[in-house]
Amino acid sequence: MKTAASGSWVPDEGGSRLPAGEAHAWEPGRNATVCGVPLHRAGLARFPHVEFSDLDALTGGSGDRVRWACPRCLAATGGRRAGRRWARTDPRP
Protein backbone atom coordinates (compact mmCIF):
# COMPACT_ATOMS: atom_id res chain seq x y z
CA MET A 1 0.00 0.00 0.00
CA LYS A 2 1.18 3.48 -0.79
CA THR A 3 0.50 6.71 1.10
CA ALA A 4 -1.83 9.67 0.65
CA ALA A 5 -1.48 12.63 3.02
CA SER A 6 -2.88 16.09 3.68
CA GLY A 7 0.51 17.81 3.40
CA SER A 8 4.07 17.38 2.22
CA TRP A 9 7.59 18.50 3.05
CA VAL A 10 11.08 18.19 1.56
CA PRO A 11 14.03 17.20 3.80
CA ASP A 12 16.83 19.75 4.29
CA GLU A 13 19.36 17.47 2.63
CA GLY A 14 17.19 17.28 -0.46
CA GLY A 15 15.47 14.33 -1.98
CA SER A 16 11.84 13.74 -2.81
CA ARG A 17 8.86 15.14 -0.95
CA LEU A 18 7.51 13.20 2.01
CA PRO A 19 4.05 13.05 3.60
CA ALA A 20 2.99 15.29 6.48
CA GLY A 21 -0.14 15.90 8.52
CA GLU A 22 -2.92 13.33 8.18
CA ALA A 23 -1.98 10.09 6.40
CA HIS A 24 -4.04 7.33 4.80
CA ALA A 25 -3.25 4.10 2.96
CA TRP A 26 -3.88 4.25 -0.80
CA GLU A 27 -3.70 1.75 -3.65
CA PRO A 28 -2.33 3.13 -6.95
CA GLY A 29 -4.97 3.25 -9.64
CA ARG A 30 -7.77 4.11 -7.22
CA ASN A 31 -9.25 7.51 -6.45
CA ALA A 32 -10.00 6.76 -2.81
CA THR A 33 -8.09 5.61 0.23
CA VAL A 34 -8.37 2.12 1.67
CA CYS A 35 -10.87 3.41 4.26
CA GLY A 36 -13.02 5.05 1.55
CA VAL A 37 -12.02 8.74 1.75
CA PRO A 38 -12.02 10.32 -1.75
CA LEU A 39 -8.55 11.74 -2.47
CA HIS A 40 -9.55 14.87 -4.37
CA ARG A 41 -12.45 15.92 -2.14
CA ALA A 42 -10.39 15.49 1.01
CA GLY A 43 -7.43 17.36 -0.50
CA LEU A 44 -5.03 14.46 -0.09
CA ALA A 45 -1.80 14.30 -2.08
CA ARG A 46 -0.52 10.97 -3.41
CA PHE A 47 2.91 9.63 -2.48
CA PRO A 48 3.47 6.57 -4.70
CA HIS A 49 7.11 6.30 -3.61
CA VAL A 50 6.28 6.03 0.14
CA GLU A 51 4.95 2.79 1.61
CA PHE A 52 2.22 3.22 4.25
CA SER A 53 4.08 0.80 6.53
CA ASP A 54 7.12 3.19 6.56
CA LEU A 55 5.17 5.94 8.35
CA ASP A 56 5.89 4.66 11.85
CA ALA A 57 8.07 7.32 13.49
CA LEU A 58 9.72 4.73 15.74
CA THR A 59 11.27 2.96 12.76
CA GLY A 60 12.91 6.13 11.45
CA GLY A 61 10.99 5.90 8.20
CA SER A 62 9.25 8.56 6.20
CA GLY A 63 6.77 9.54 8.90
CA ASP A 64 8.70 12.25 10.74
CA ARG A 65 6.03 14.89 10.13
CA VAL A 66 2.94 12.69 10.02
CA ARG A 67 0.79 13.71 12.98
CA TRP A 68 -2.11 11.27 12.53
CA ALA A 69 -2.39 7.95 10.72
CA CYS A 70 -5.91 6.76 9.93
CA PRO A 71 -6.85 3.94 12.34
CA ARG A 72 -9.13 2.32 9.74
CA CYS A 73 -6.29 2.24 7.21
CA LEU A 74 -3.97 0.81 9.87
CA ALA A 75 -6.49 -1.94 10.58
CA ALA A 76 -6.96 -2.70 6.89
CA THR A 77 -3.22 -3.01 6.30
CA GLY A 78 -2.51 -4.88 9.55
CA GLY A 79 -0.21 -2.12 10.74
CA ARG A 80 1.56 -1.77 14.07
CA ARG A 81 0.54 -5.18 15.27
CA ALA A 82 3.73 -6.90 14.13
CA GLY A 83 1.96 -10.14 13.37
CA ARG A 84 0.25 -10.43 16.74
CA ARG A 85 -3.19 -11.80 15.95
CA TRP A 86 -5.89 -12.50 18.46
CA ALA A 87 -6.28 -16.19 19.16
CA ARG A 88 -8.41 -18.07 21.64
CA THR A 89 -6.03 -20.11 23.77
CA ASP A 90 -8.55 -22.17 25.71
CA PRO A 91 -11.75 -22.57 23.69
CA ARG A 92 -14.90 -23.83 25.33
CA PRO A 93 -15.97 -27.41 24.58
pLDDT score for 54: 85
The secondary structure of residue 91, as a DSSP letter, is: -
The CA R_g of the chain, rounded to the nearest whole Å, is: 15
Residue 82 in this model has a pLDDT that exceeds 60: no
Output the pTM of the full model. Answer: 0.79
pLDDT score for 64: 83
User: Cα–Cα distance between 62 and 85 in angstroms, integer?
Assistant: 26
| Annotated domain spans of the chain | 2-77
pLDDT score for 86: 64
CA geometry: angle 74, 19, 83, nearest 5 deg: 25
- Chain segment 25-71, per-residue pLDDT in tens: 999 999 999 999 999 999 999 999 999 888 876 666 677 888 898 99
